[in-house]
Amino acid sequence: MEKIRQTREIPVIAEYDVVVCGGGPSGFIAAIAAARGGARTALIERYGFLGGMATASLVAPISVFNYNQRRIIDGIPWEFIERLIDIEGAREEKPSGNITFSPEKYKLIAQRMVLEAGVSLYFHSYITGCKKSENNLTHVILENKNGTEAIAAKYFIDCTGDADLSYQAGVPMQPKSSELQPASLIFMLGGVDTDSLPKIRHNEHKVNYHDLDIRQAFEDLDIDLPQYGGPWYCGILANDLVLVNMTRTYADMANNREATNAECVLREDVFTFVDLLKKNIPAFENAHLVMTAPQTGTRETRRIKGVHTLTGEEYIEARNFDDAISRGCHPVDIHSSSSNNQLCEFLEDAAFVPYRCLIAPGFPNLLVGGRAFSADGISSASVRVQASAMGLGQAAGVAAALCAQYGTNVSEVDIKKLRNTLIKYGANLTN
């Protein structure tokens, strides 16, 4: 492969205590937590809005906050939900604690809470590299309309979902699965008879909300169809609008070429499925395509190899840890990339995630929030969802602020103080 060498000076435009990379569910919560902890904080996001998979990929509902009649994910994440509810931008589906929401109001409340906390926002900025001094990260490199810029910080939190910052910093990654979970392009339909859709409200425990009637109708057609899952759908607080999650294809969405191909394949598939729904399912007879998500939804890419890797056995057993900093209660949800199948295993009780899964050996000022945390394929298949990602972001943000306050490495944070701070915010860390 031909290579070119480019040497350039990059302006350092700002310096912070904490820089959070990625403004999805984990990232914007991490930034709020770090700033509320007294750290001068910046948040870098490639789009012009916050929310990640919720708003860029239209993944709905936000799941899961409650389990066995208890609030499992709490603190700043639930404060966000309450503020969404206050402006009629969300509805809690009780008792499950799944959240039906308006994507546009999600963007608004996330933005308000970040700015109110005093976080500096850098929208439309794509992370392209970092600078290190020995093992410490010193700068993150970003590209935007201003050109190439650098931001310095004492601590960094990688909430990119795909471990982009960690990967560029040289953090070892978990072995890649031979079959990553598939990517899905969610689409919004208008003109739907939502009153006749039985699965539009995700309000029961231990229920898989895929629509088996639609699945059977498609199988009865006896024609070749693109691969699909579910289908699952969710309302967005409007009478005739529905988000549909059914397309799927194999792709490593951390690989640009594969991601590009997936976007093209899935966009074609969306139109195929819209036509089939209109012709074969009465509730969709008058439906029309409003939009496809700006970005294909991603279930699985890179995960760091941390100080501890959370195993499926530990997770399913709900094993507690001395350094537990967040929880998870979504089923272990593994979608097949080679078929229309899905493995969905419900938990007996809410699980725990230890702090050691957010840090990597030899990287003293880097934390990871969201689905790139250190986990195997089984535990990750539950924790990857939005509410759990918010919980991890909250923990990473609080930890970074404590490290900045006391000048300690991320591996030396006072776990008791970290847990107490999280509990003070409202996090549920007890059995």
Q: Specify the pLDDT at position 8.
A: 87
Q: Specify the pLDDT at position 206.
A: 85
Query: Which two three-digit tokens encode residue 427?
Result: 């996090």
At 290-331, the pLDDT tens digits run 999 999 999 999 999 999 999 999 999 999 999 999 999 999
Domain range enclosing 269: 187-292
Q: Between β-strands 366-368 and 147-158, what pairing exists: parallel, antiparallel or unpaired?
A: parallel
- 0.85 cut: is pTM over it? yes
Residue 431 is assigned to a structural domain of this protein: no
Question: CA geometry: angle at 335 spanning 331 and 339, to 5°?
Answer: 150
Q: What is the separation of C-alpha 108 from the centre of its chain, rounded to a whole number of angstroms?
A: 18
Q: Specify the pLDDT at position 371.
A: 96
Q: Specify the pLDDT at position 62.
A: 97
Least confident of 38-52, 219-233, 296-310: 219-233
| Residue 218 near residue 225, CB atoms below 8 Å | yes
Tell me, what DSSP letter sits at residue 294? S
| Residue 63 near residue 202, CB atoms below 8 Å | yes
Partners of 148 in beta bridges = 143
Q: What is the average pLDDT score of the chain?
A: 96
For residues 364-391, average pLDDT: 97
Partners of 173 in beta bridges = 304
Domain identity same for 60 and 149: yes
For residues 223-227, average pLDDT: 94
Is the pLDDT at 178 greater than 80? The verdict is no
Domain identity same for 54 and 194: no
Q: Exposed, middle or buried, 257 (CB in 10 Å: 0-12/13-18/19+)?
A: exposed
Map residue 350 onto helix, strand or coil. coil
Domain identity same for 37 and 93: yes
Domain identity same for 125 and 16: yes
At 55-108, the pLDDT tens digits run 999 999 999 999 999 999 999 999 999 999 999 999 999 999 999 999 999 999
Using pLDDT thresholds of 50, 70 and 90, give the confidence band for residue 152.
very high
As a residue count, the chain comes to 431
Q: Specify the pLDDT at position 104.
A: 98
Is the pLDDT at 431 greater than 90? The verdict is no
Q: Specify the pLDDT at position 135.
A: 84
d(CA 249, CA 184): 7
- Give me the percent of the chain exceeding a pLDDT of 70: 100
Q: Specify the pLDDT at position 288.
A: 98
Helices (H), 156-227: 164-169, 212-220
Q: Specify the pLDDT at position 355.
A: 98
Q: Specify the pLDDT at position 199.
A: 86
Q: Specify the pLDDT at position 430.
A: 86
Domain identity same for 47 and 162: yes
Domain identity same for 61 and 205: no
Domain identity same for 74 and 34: yes
Tell me, what DSSP letter sits at residue 358? G
d(CA 218, CA 225): 9
Domain identity same for 89 and 142: yes
For residues 105-123, average pLDDT: 98
Residue 430 is assigned to a structural domain of this protein: no
d(CA 43, CA 40): 11
Domain identity same for 256 and 305: no
For residues 36-54, average pLDDT: 98
Tell me, what DSSP letter sits at residue 200? S
Least confident of 143-152, 219-228, 360-369: 219-228
Task: Among 249, 272, 292, give the residue marking a domain's end.
Answer: 292
Q: How many CB atoms lie within 10 A of CB 260?
A: 11
Residue 324 is assigned to a structural domain of this protein: yes
Residue 397 is assigned to a structural domain of this protein: yes
**Tally of domains in the chain:** 2
d(CA 93, CA 2): 55
Domain identity same for 198 and 114: no
Domain identity same for 115 and 87: yes
Using pLDDT thresholds of 50, 70 and 90, give the confidence band for residue 122.
very high
For residues 108-136, average pLDDT: 96
At 10-37, the pLDDT tens digits run 999 999 999 999 999 999 999 999 999 9
Residue 122 is assigned to a structural domain of this protein: yes
Q: Specify the pLDDT at position 42.
A: 99
Task: Among 292, 317, 333, give the residue marking a domain's end.
Answer: 292
Task: Among 270, 292, 314, give the residue marking a domain's end.
Answer: 292
| Residue 234 near residue 282, CB atoms below 8 Å | no
My answer on whether omega of the bond before 172 falls inside 30° of 0, hence cis, is no
Q: Specify the pLDDT at position 130.
A: 97
Domain identity same for 39 and 172: yes
Is the pLDDT at 375 greater than 80? The verdict is yes
